[in-house]
Structures are given as C-alpha cells and as structure tokens.
Amino acid sequence: MSGIEGKVIAVTGAGSGIGRATALLLARRGAKLALGGRRVDRLEAVADDIVATGGEAVCIATDVTVRADLTALVALAHERYGRLDVLVSNAGIGPVSRFDALCVDDWDAMIDVNVKGVLYGIAAALPMFRQQGTGHFINVVSTSGLKIVPGQGVYAATKNAVRTINEALRQEAGDRLRVTGISPGFVQTDFADSMTDATMRAAIQKRMGEIAISPDAIARAIAFAIEQPIDVDVGDIVIRPTAQD
C-alpha cells in the first residue's frame, strides 16, 4: 500500500510536540491512528481533535519503558482497525548533563526510554509485520548523535544506539519491511522539561527560543517516508533549523 490514506499508524509520545503534530497531520491525510503516551489527558485531547475533524483515532496510556504497554498499543491498533502498517517510536527524554554531575538516574532513564522503548516497540510490532508481510518502523532519533557536544554524551549515545538498531533491523527486514530514522534538531517542544540539570535546561531552552523550528516540520518528514511506494525505503532524514550549527 502506497500513500497514507487508509494506513493504520501507531505513534508513541503522541500527547505533545512531534508526536502530536505527526498524529494530526497523518489523520488529515487519511490515516487511522493508535496513540500512545503517558499523559492520558493530552492523548485524549489529540484523539478528540482528530475525531472532531472527521478522522479516526484511539488512544491508550503507554509508558515505553514497560514492554506490556507497547504490546497493548499494537494490540489496540489491530483490534480496532485489523492491522498495523506503521509504528512511529517518537517517545524520548533528554535530561542532559555533564558526566561530572554523576546524574546516574538520568542516564538510566534515557537508556530505558530512548533505547529500550524502541526495542520494546520492535518486539511488539515485528511479529505482526511479519504476519502481514508488510510494515514500517519509524524511529525518531536526534541530531545530537551526529554532532557530539559536552553535556550530551549519554543522550547522544542512546540516539546512536538506535541508529545502530535501525541499520541492523533494516538489513534483517527483507524486501517488504521498511525502517526509517528521523533526526530532528532544535524543535519547539517541551523537550527541556525532563532536564534535571538547571544550567543545561536553561541553555537548551534559550537556544530553542532562538532557533527552534515547528514540530510540523518533523511531521512532514515522517509523512514523506510513509507515503513512498512499498519498494522505497527512506533510511535517514535529518531536519534541523537553518541556523543550527
């Protein structure tokens, strides 16, 4: 199936930012959405917006660090719509800090959400994709892994781990499954809210205020990857503000 209309697409982290923008855009393009996220009130608001404009969407509380939650999200899509065509693993956190700060709990949290969350999504969706004979993994990564800077070592490492996962999965996927990595730069989201280091949080928020682009830009890139014909696999897309170093 080419295009977006009629496809069943699950999105994690769909309550705000890139996930919300992606869900709304894909719904306008005719997709059927299964939305996952930790903040149920925000998820329900996104689903309500989609339904109010004639689209189709369901939602379920989803903590990507809990494997059963990803299984439930995929199952919801299948139960409601009969299949799953695309899984957008967008949920992520970035409590960045310098190594000397020894924010080990933050390191653990980033590994759990940014790496294990993606793996749990693969574990949930891959059997269904294999059974259907088609499927598309879209994993949101970051430009932080492309340019390594002080303070973002662990965060960048988690994102580069996902790049490795993407490439290995792509090679194993065969000629009917697709794998895409999306690497945003500074985007107008609540990304900094997860940062426990006040200095780093202030610096990131300042830079975002200066140059960040709309989440809609990332949503359009995700839509571009999805709408390609089945024999076209868009491997990696980097999207950053023109003003970003």
Residue-wise pLDDT tens digits, 12-47: 999 999 999 999 999 999 999 999 999 999 999 999
Mean pLDDT of the region 202-231: 94
Q: Tell whether 244 is covered by a domain.
A: no
The tokens for 172 are: 């194993």
CATH code for position 116 = 3.40.50.720
Query: Active-site residue among 81, 120, 129, 155?
Result: 155
Q: Tell whether 3 is covered by a domain.
A: no
pLDDT of residue 1: 55
Q: Tell whether 110 is covered by a domain.
A: yes
Q: Tell whether 54 is covered by a domain.
A: yes
To the query of whether residue 81 is one of the catalytic residues in this protein, the response is no
Residue-wise pLDDT tens digits, 121-153: 999 999 999 999 999 999 999 999 999 999 999
Q: Tell whether 59 is covered by a domain.
A: yes
Mean pLDDT of the region 42-65: 97
Q: Residue 40 belongs to what domain range?
A: 8-239
Q: Tell whether 47 is covered by a domain.
A: yes
The amino acid that residue 59 corresponds to is: C
Distance CA 245, CA 242 (A): 8
Total count of domains within the chain: 1
Q: Tell whether 245 is covered by a domain.
A: no
Taking alpha carbons only, the member of 227, 207, 23, 194 closest to residue 114 is: 194
pLDDT category at 115 given cuts 50, 70, 90 is very high
